[in-house]
């Protein structure tokens, strides 16, 4: 009887480990550990310094916040190529109003509101005019970037407000405030996606919009909410970016569309919609941040860094996809 019980426990343990390994987040975490182990061997003196690790955390924080927005949009069956310039325009508006002497709270609200409106307008055109998200959001990206240059005339606007600088550059103990804000957003939006009706509806709309509509979900309203919520997150990222740079730059936010999509996809979110997790997106963003940092520390030519990073992304996604097929 004792042997029988021991055999059952062993079987349960094996099943548990098989289940854990089937999770995309687990495999992604293992890839991350491999990258860290490689850097521990190649650059132990520079990679594991507190300055370098906190620098990675700050870099990852911004892209993670934007990638959380992108994750919701992609899970709902869309894509947003305007996220980078949405956060860029938000930062420019805040910087411009602060420089003109406006109330800091109203300046921040104005900038974030502009980003929210970009998400809202995107959703209206997508749902009511029925244009593809790719076309709508790339058009909005041009509009947002153009407005940023109209406001600044191509010049950088210096930001001296202590609150704005503080939330991006201060620390709570050894942890950057920016990273704490990012983690709070990750926890909140992970809970919403996995444990609330809103999250379930997001996955249902992205999985099969016709079935979702027939089940009673107001798919138009839900997609509007998802894009608008994404605009809010981009606005928060825009505020943090100007605080980190201590300036509003009209070119800020470039490549955030591609980077956020990369972090989301590497994190296991399906490009066809209906499937994904915020934890996976966080791990994807961290993995990309570690890869970029590693390439700099290894003194890889800047012309080759993008090639190498892209190749690693393809490798991670390919291995994950093949592993998934083998286990189905």
Q: What is the DSSP string of 160-196?
A: --HHHHHHHH-EETTEEHHHHHHHHHHHHHHHHHHHS
CA 281 – CA 316 distance, rounded (Å): 14
Q: Which two tokens stand for residue 90?
A: 């938000």
Helix (H) or strand (E) holding 158: strand 157-158
> Quick one: pLDDT at residue 64?
95
Q: What is the pLDDT of residue 8?
A: 55
pLDDT in tens, the chain (328 residues): 545 555 555 565 555 445 455 567 787 888 888 888 888 888 888 888 888 888 888 889 999 999 999 999 999 999 999 999 999 999 999 999 999 989 999 999 999 999 999 999 999 999 999 999 999 999 999 999 999 999 998 889 998 888 988 888 888 888 889 999 999 999 999 999 999 999 999 999 999 999 999 999 999 999 999 999 999 999 999 999 999 888 898 888 888 888 898 899 888 888 888 888 999 999 999 988 988 888 888 888 877 877 877 787 777 777 666 665 554 4
pTM of the predicted model as reported, rounded to 2 decimal places: 0.88
**pLDDT value at residue 38:** 87
| Residue 11 confidence (pLDDT) | 60
| Confidence at residue 107, expressed as pLDDT on a 0 to 100 scale | 94
Here the tokens at position 312 are 């690693």
Q: What is the mean pLDDT of the chain?
A: 86
How many Cα atoms sit within 13 Å of 39 on the Cβ side?
Answer: 23
In this predicted structure, what is the pLDDT of residue 315? 76
Specify the pLDDT at position 19: 47
**In which residue are the tokens 């957003």 written?**
185
Question: Are the C-beta atoms of residues 82 and 69 closer than 8 Å to each other?
Answer: no
Burial of 259 (0-12, 13-18, 19+ CB in 10 A): buried
pLDDT of residue 2: 47
> Could you tell me which of 238, 232, 272 has the C-alpha nearest to residue 145?
238
Phi first, then psi, for residue 257 (nearest 5°) are: -65, -50
């Amino acid at each position: 009887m004792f042997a029988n019980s021991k055999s059952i426990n062993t079987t349960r343990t094996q099943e548990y480990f098989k289940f854990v390994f089937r999770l995309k987040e687990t495999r992604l975490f293992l890839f991350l550990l491999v990258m860290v182990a490689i850097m521990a061997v190649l650059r132990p003196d520079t990679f594991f310094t507190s300055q370098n690790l906190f620098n990675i955390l700050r870099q990852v924080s911004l892209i993670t916040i934007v990638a959380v927005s992108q994750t919701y949009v992609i899970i709902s069956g869309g894509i947003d190529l305007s996220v980078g310039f949405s956060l860029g325009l938000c930062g420019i508006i805040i910087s411009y109003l602060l420089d003109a002497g406006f109330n800091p709270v109203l300046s921040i609200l104005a900038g974030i509101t502009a980003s929210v409106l970009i998400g809202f307008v995107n959703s209206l055109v997508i749902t009511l005019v029925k244009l593809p998200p790719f076309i709508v959001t790339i058009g909005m990206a041009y509009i947002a970037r153009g407005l940023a240059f109209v406001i600044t005339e191509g010049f950088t606007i210096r930001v001296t407000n202590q609150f704005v600088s503080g939330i991006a550059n201060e620390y709570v103990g050894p942890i950057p405030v920016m990273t704490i804000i990012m983690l709070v957003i990750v926890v909140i939006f992970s809970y919403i996606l996995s444990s609330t009706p809103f999250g379930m509806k997001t996955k249902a709309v992205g999985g099969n919009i016709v079935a979702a509509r027939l089940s009673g979900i107001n798919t138009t309203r839900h997609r509007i909410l998802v894009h608008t919520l994404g605009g809010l997150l981009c606005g928060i990222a825009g505020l943090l970016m100007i605080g980190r740079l201590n300036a509003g730059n009209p070119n800020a936010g470039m490549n955030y569309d591609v980077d956020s999509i990369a972090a989301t996809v590497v994190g296991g979110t399906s490009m066809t919609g209906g499937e994904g997790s915020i934890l996976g997106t966080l791990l994807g963003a961290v993995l990309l941040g570690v890869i970029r940092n590693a390439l700099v520390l290894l003194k890889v030519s800047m012309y080759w860094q993008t090639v190498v990073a892209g190749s690693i992304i393809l490798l991670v996604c390919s291995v994950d996809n093949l592993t998934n097929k083998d286990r189905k």
